[in-house]
Amino acid sequence: MRTSRKPSTSPATAFEPEFVAGLREMFERSIPFNQVLGIQLLALDGERAQCRIDMRPELVGHFIHRRLHGGVISATLDATAGLAVMAAIGARHMDESPEQRLARFMKLGTIDLRVDYLRPGLGPHFVASAEVLRLGSRVASTRMELHDAQGERVASGAAAYIVS
Amino acid sequence: MRTSRKPSTSPATAFEPEFVAGLREMFERSIPFNQVLGIQLLALDGERAQCRIDMRPELVGHFIHRRLHGGVISATLDATAGLAVMAAIGARHMDESPEQRLARFMKLGTIDLRVDYLRPGLGPHFVASAEVLRLGSRVASTRMELHDAQGERVASGAAAYIVS
Amino acid sequence: MRTSRKPSTSPATAFEPEFVAGLREMFERSIPFNQVLGIQLLALDGERAQCRIDMRPELVGHFIHRRLHGGVISATLDATAGLAVMAAIGARHMDESPEQRLARFMKLGTIDLRVDYLRPGLGPHFVASAEVLRLGSRVASTRMELHDAQGERVASGAAAYIVS
Amino acid sequence: MRTSRKPSTSPATAFEPEFVAGLREMFERSIPFNQVLGIQLLALDGERAQCRIDMRPELVGHFIHRRLHGGVISATLDATAGLAVMAAIGARHMDESPEQRLARFMKLGTIDLRVDYLRPGLGPHFVASAEVLRLGSRVASTRMELHDAQGERVASGAAAYIVS
């Protein structure tokens, strides 16, 4: 009994190094609040993105238990899902120049977001993964997860984005 | 790059035939609106459930395109997730008699539900799958999917339940 | 301390009787599963819709407590919100003929839906209300509630729709 | 046609100044990430909370349009809703000492959160409002909104919390 019964047809999209570098620069450096979170891009393909955040004192939500703040989790899942949508859009528009594809990034808008908090966020770092379930001409739907350094699932989520 | 990096530790729970039969009877026969939907239990283990619904004229939502009504999708995903939670509760209480475990079913309550509609629901039948992401002492969190007869994902969802 | 601090600028849209009659016919009669639910259109203005469903044995979810099935609630809230979006689209396109506006109804698609179940659904009938929080050129966002015959809030929800 | 047909029976709970001061101290000072967001408690009654955040360069999500980051919005709505639940719990336990009631704050846990992003978050400051729709013995359900300095609704949301 499997939840997903069809193999994901992950397009083996080979993005140019300059596209990935440009996206990383935009994502990690040009978005001020992403710098506050300290989100780093780990991996990217035509329908998925993976990011990492390191625990830091200012990201704590519970001063006794030293847990990651729920708002850090929701923000990181939203950011990672946006990146996955951007990768999917980039993969669809490989005929455009990297600059043209990067310009699409700033037009992305989150329609809505759901986060399920499953376990306390504890430990030295966290990995967020996002997958695009559907990329339409106007709306993209994604699913996300956050795991701790031991590989335990801390949170899961879903979001919808306006694309253009 | 995988979304879930840890193998799901599916407990190989062997439910007694009378427990499964009782649960099926309760689920398929005793809940009137489940009969309207025509939900059939396909498979059950300690953290997952799978159900099937057949397309019927009264389940249509769009009279031109003959698509499954979104409300049928949300109701089916909610019902299947409730069943998965029930299986997880059953697996945790194998020391109780089947009757005692079945009695817990009617105490389950949906806290909230999210459904993402990904593709039109077309075709002769649909399979709903639900997985319990976390079973706590008070709240259970689940994730669900609906696939059509070709194995295409029609919808995905998440829900939280009060357990006792 | 109020939640909404700005008066809702409800446009006093006066729909033609034939538009409202056409919408009602389509909503109550042409959508088979809406007939199963027995949804009736109560009121409609430029950004809100109100519908009613009567309790019937086949809508029950809990055979002991005779509660409304959660799936009936989610389906009714989704349907009512779709109607509110349709009214908002209709109000924006009053320059079109009623037929042209009605044709837009079948192009509406639910992107996603959240339902919060607050109290058991008990009593002879229920009223669903939906409000359009934002109608964009591509996406509409709505908020919904279900009240029982005593005026108690049974459920609340939110949904996003693709419009065109 | 009104969405909510029953007047909210807001208990005119008069919290002791030391309870409000203790809650404010805990909320604004002891939760490190709330300090990053700069959330300030504006008002509190037995079922509602209102907070404010001021726009600052590090809270920006879009470097061209200078919009508030979506993660700031979700974090602020979650925090404000948690405070409203805390107020509702406090109002229910007025027989306990302020210290005992404050101790309950750190046991609150977010089960899940939904945020609908309605308009770009622009302007000098924002006001978040949260209302407790239902406070049960185990779960609380809330609804939230964020308005900009002009009173325009920027986002709306819903969340569920474990209480004890």
Can you give the pLDDT at residue B12? Answer: 56
Q: Do A4 and B145 touch (CB under 8 A)?
A: yes
Query: Chain B: nearest CA to D64, how far in angstroms?
Result: 31
The pTM assigned to this predicted structure is 0.92
The whole-number average pLDDT for the span C83-99 is 93
The backbone torsions φ and ψ at residue B133, rounded to the nearest 5 degrees and listed phi first, read -80, -30
Q: Which of C116, C138, C148 best probes binding to D when mutated, by most D CB atoms within 10 angstroms?
A: C116
A33, A76, A109: residue with CB nearest D59: A33
Can you give the pLDDT at residue D12? Answer: 56
Q: Is the pLDDT of residue A42 over 60?
A: yes
Report how far apart, in Å, the C-alpha atoms of D62 and of each of A76, D55, D120 are. Answer: 15, 13, 10
Query: Chain A: nearest CA to C34, how far in angstroms?
Result: 26
B6 contacts chain A (CB < 8 A):
yes
Set of chain B residues whose Cβ sits within 8 Å of the Cβ of C58: 32-33, 35-36
Can you give the pLDDT at residue A7? Answer: 39
Report how far apart, in Å, the C-alpha atoms of B105 and of each of A60, B49, B88, B109, C32 are. Answer: 38, 14, 11, 9, 31
pLDDT > 70 fraction of chain C, expressed in percent and rounded: 92
Can you give the pLDDT at residue D9? Answer: 40
Q: Which residues of chain B have pLDDT under 70?
A: 1-12
Set of chain D residues whose Cβ sits within 8 Å of the Cβ of C48: 1, 3
Can you give the pLDDT at residue C27? Answer: 93
Q: Which of B116, B139, B163 best probes binding to D when mutated, by most D CB atoms within 10 angstroms?
A: B139
- The angle subtended at Cα B32 by Cα B54 and Cα B120, nearest 5°, is 35
Can you give the pLDDT at residue D3? Answer: 41
Q: Is the pLDDT of residue A14 over 70?
A: yes
- Band of pLDDT at residue C3, cut at 50, 70 and 90: very low
Set of chain C residues whose Cβ sits within 8 Å of the Cβ of A81: none
Can you give the pLDDT at residue C9? Answer: 40
The whole-number average pLDDT for the span A64-79 is 94
Q: Is the pLDDT of residue D148 over 60?
A: yes
The whole-number average pLDDT for the span A59-79 is 92
Helix (H) or strand (E) holding B142: strand B139-148
A153 contacts chain D (CB < 8 A):
no
Of the listed ranges B2-16, C95-109, D58-72, the one predicted with least confidence: B2-16
Q: Do D116 and C160 touch (CB under 8 A)?
A: yes
Q: Is the pLDDT of residue A161 over 70?
A: yes
Query: Chain C: nearest CA to B82, how far in angstroms?
Result: 11
The whole-number average pLDDT for the span D100-119 is 92
The whole-number average pLDDT for the span A12-16 is 77
How many C-alpha atoms does C156 have within 13 Å on its Cβ side?
Answer: 21
Can you give the pLDDT at residue C12? Answer: 55
Query: Chain C: nearest CA to B156, how far in angstroms?
Result: 9
Q: Which ipTM value was assigned to this complex?
A: 0.90
- Alpha-carbon gap, residue B109 to C73, rounded angstroms: 14
Q: Do B1 and A43 touch (CB under 8 A)?
A: yes
Look at C99 and B149; give whichever has higher pLDDT.
Answer: B149
- Alpha-carbon gap, residue B61 to C34, rounded angstroms: 8
C112, C158, C162: residue with CB nearest A138: C162
C45, C133, C152: residue with CB nearest D153: C133
Q: Is the pLDDT of residue D68 over 50?
A: yes
Query: Chain C: nearest CA to A142, how far in angstroms?
Result: 11
Q: Average model confidence (pLDDT) for chain C?
A: 90
